[in-house]
Structure 1
Amino acid sequence: MEIEKTMKIYPIECITPYHKNWVMKVRVIQKSPIRTWSNDRGQGKLFSMDLIDESGEIRATAFNEECEKFYSSIKVDEVYFISNAQLKTANKNFCTLNNDYEMTFGRTTEVSHCDEDSSEIPSITFDFTSISDVFKKEKDSVIDVIGRINFASGKSSYICPLTQKETIFRDIQLVSEDGTKKINITIWGNLVDDVDVVSKPIIAFKKVKITNSKVFGTSLKTTSASIIKINPKGFLPM
């Protein structure tokens, strides 16, 4: 707990690039897979994660050495103390969080697991769109949705023609509690293994994108920012 004793803890909403010597106490609500990048300046790898506390939310990204250092030790839904990360203006083309800033981990960034009571730090929150209202929204809108799995296809694979990388996916149909409203969702990548299709649970999706499928018409798909919760406490399908 040294990180807490030596620095004052600030809420996310109060931290700007002009603040120094701060610590934030945050919960990880989403962590992306490690991705590679390449441009004129070189190549490397990175991962990003979304963090929340009682005051707000912020995106953090770790590149190269910091990616290797922190990726395996940081777990979704756990609470951490973080300090000495660089803040900059958020790129809204890639980040939809409600914060003007985002963080980048550097060589001096410190991350310590919080082992004390963290009940004041909220867990993942949802702003659900009802299944019937999905069809009223514009294509490419990003929403939260909940329902019960009605049926699911087997796992399939897709090879990107540009990168030649193979990705697995699965199609499921989500149905409302009364069984009258249905929507199809394509789940991509690592999230496929997070879904128990056998017991047909209630499942909540955060940050899924509205698309127009040739097979299903208006439907949904997960993205790298999507989060899945199985049988979330306190929620019923809409």
Structure 2
Amino acid sequence: EVNQVYYISKATLKPANKNFTSIKNDFEMTFNSETDVSPCEDSDSIPTIQFSFVPIQQLQGMPRDTLVDVMGVCKSFGEVQTVTRRNTNQELKKRDIQLVDKSNAEITLTLWGTHAEKFEAIDDPVVAIKGARVSDFSGVSLSMIGSSVMHMNPELPEAHSLYGWYQNIGCKGESQNLTVRGGIGGSITGPGTVWKTLEQAKRDNLGQGDKPDYFTAKATVVAVRKEKLVYKACPTEKC
């Protein structure tokens, strides 16, 4: 249970693999068949979950799959969607929410499973995430994973300050959207949309780098190639 304090004995202590955690500790514990866990009732002296928040604006320069702690105001959220995992055909529930913070940047956070189904955003809640994963999908985005922990309206000084900022300043101005909207089921005219002419895209050498570039254009189709209209997605059997 989140925020519950426990006594843990007979666990294995080893150096932490910091590629898979946002916690700054040098060691981690793993459970085995002999590990014993029991609730601690006298827990007033034990600190709660510690966060090391990263401003949303700084997520642009972070490598893919980095785990970060992020806090933002939920300014909008989408409906629950059902997607199918390719390798197992398992159906998953997901929901995208939009977070903004004092760095005047916003980003899409994807919730999965129970978090997606039970999420409620009333009166612009402050959302704190421990261990969200950075993705380069559609620009920069965040996703919760199995080890991520989400807190709604946490009792933190930073949360109260952020909420006050949003109510007085943030909700009235424009912010930089790090996640490009559009594609299937998306809006091409949401906040952060980058409009360019085809000439501008060519002049700016878009699409020439290691990562894809995204922009929105309004154009007229003048010709459709007739040769090789379709091609096989996979030339070999059972791939």
Compute the TM-score of the two structures, normalised by the length of structure 1. Answer: 0.59
Q: Does 1:102 align with 2:26?
A: no
AA in 2 matched with 1:235: E
Query: Counterpart of 1:152?
Result: 77
Checking the alignment, whether the CA contact within 8 Å between 1:87 and 1:104 is kept in structure 2 is no
Q: Does 1:85 align with 2:8?
A: no
Checking the alignment, whether the CA contact within 8 Å between 2:6 and 2:39 is kept in structure 1 is yes
Shift of 1:212: 1.9
Taking only aligned residues, the RMSD between alpha carbons, in angstroms, comes to 2.4
Select 1:183's aligned residue among 81, 92, 107. 107
- Please say which structure displays the higher CA radius of gyration: 2
Identity %: 31
Checking the alignment, whether the CA contact within 8 Å between 1:85 and 1:106 is kept in structure 2 is no
Distance (Å, rounded) in 2 between the aligned partners of 1:93 and 1:135: 18
| Further displaced range: 219-228 or 189-198 | 189-198
| Further displaced range: 134-143 or 81-90 | 81-90
Structure ranking higher in helix proportion: 2
Structure ranking higher in strand proportion: 1
* Secondary structure in structure 2 of the residue aligned to 1:135: helix
AA in 2 matched with 1:76: V
AA in 2 matched with 1:203: V
Distance (Å, rounded) in 2 between the aligned partners of 1:155 and 1:148: 19
Checking the alignment, whether the CA contact within 8 Å between 2:22 and 2:67 is kept in structure 1 is no
Q: Which structure 2 residues correspond to residues 101-120 of structure 1 after superposition, within 5 A?
A: 101-107=28-34, 109-116=35-42, 118-120=43-45
Alignment deviations for residues 168-189 of structure 1 (CA, whole Å, 9 cap, x no partner): 11011111258x3211111122
Q: Does 1:136 align with 2:58?
A: no
Distance (Å, rounded) in 1 between the aligned partners of 2:74 and 2:22: 27
Aligned length: 159
* Secondary structure in structure 2 of the residue aligned to 1:235: helix
Distance (Å, rounded) in 1 between the aligned partners of 2:127 and 2:107: 13
Gaps of 5+ in 2: 166-239
Checking the alignment, whether the CA contact within 8 Å between 1:171 and 1:186 is kept in structure 2 is yes
Checking the alignment, whether the CA contact within 8 Å between 1:174 and 1:183 is kept in structure 2 is yes
* Secondary structure in structure 2 of the residue aligned to 1:213: coil
Q: Which structure 2 residues correspond to residues 55-74 of structure 1 after superposition, within 5 A?
A: none
Distance (Å, rounded) in 2 between the aligned partners of 1:89 and 1:141: 19
Distance (Å, rounded) in 2 between the aligned partners of 1:171 and 1:152: 6
Query: Counterpart of 2:148?
Result: 226
Compute the TM-score of the two structures, normalised by the length of structure 2. Answer: 0.59
AA in 1 matched with 2:32: F
| Further displaced range: 154-163 or 205-214 | 205-214
Shift of 1:96: 5.7
Query: Counterpart of 2:99?
Result: 174
In structure 2, relative to structure 1, the CA distance for the partners of 1:76 and 1:145 (3 Å cut) is same
